[in-house]
Amino acid sequence: MVVLYRLLFNHNNTLHIMEDQITKRMNDIHTFMSTKDNETCLSGTDENGKEFMIWFNTIDLLESLRIDHMKEKAKYYINNL
């Protein structure tokens, strides 16, 4: 049995897993890895300091991310500190 989840990140970098309505926040990303098998992994700690890891299909992740938009929002945040 395969269960598919739709993973969404909002502007606060909060992960939303739509199937189960679970919300997690990755506060500290300490590991990034992409494999030759089209997998990408982010690992870090959640809002409670517990370790967790998320695996993505790399192509799906790249198609979903709006890098230019993310850079624009990050620059705005930094400039308004």
Q: Which residue has the higher pLDDT, 3 or 47?
A: 47
Higher-pLDDT residue of 15, 71? 71
Residue 62: what pLDDT?
92
Tell me how far apart the alpha carbons of residues 33 and 49 are, in angstroms, rounded to a whole number.
21
Mean pLDDT of the 63-70 span: 91
C-alpha distances (whole Å) from 22 to each of 5, 15, 71, 76 are 11, 8, 26, 29
Is there a contact between 42 and 26 (Cβ–Cβ < 8 Å)? yes
Kindly state the average pLDDT of the residues 38-49: 92
pTM: predicted TM-score of the whole model, two decimal places: 0.63
User: Domain residue spans in the chain?
Assistant: 27-79
Residue 4 clears pLDDT 70, i.e. is over it: no
